[in-house]
């Protein structure tokens, strides 16, 4: 039973945070972005991608 009350408390605080952020955004007239990551043009993909695509998938 205490788990349910804990979830309600956490959810209520989270919703309060969202409402406060929304009201402050409306009050200041600013638009929020999607907070995207900056692109650096660097990839961590392996160099031999075609060979990886041709491997059979385990079933």
Tens-digit pLDDT profile for residues 36-55 = 777 777 666 656 666 656 66
Question: What is the secondary structure of 33-44 as a DSSP string?
Answer: ---PPPP-S---
Query: 28-57 b/e with 16+ CB inside 10 Å = b?
Result: eeeeeeeeeeeeeeeeeeeeeeeeeeeeee
Give the pTM.
0.45
CB 3 within 8 A of CB 9: no
Q: pLDDT tens digits for 7-32?
A: 888 899 999 999 998 898 888 887 76
């Amino acid at each position: 039973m205490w788990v349910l009350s804990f979830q309600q408390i956490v959810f209520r605080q989270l919703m309060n945070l969202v409402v406060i952020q929304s009201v402050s955004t409306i009050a200041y007239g600013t638009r929020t972005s999607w907070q995207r990551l900056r692109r650096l043009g660097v990839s961590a993909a392996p160099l031999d991608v075609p060979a990886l695509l041709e491997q059979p998938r385990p079933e």
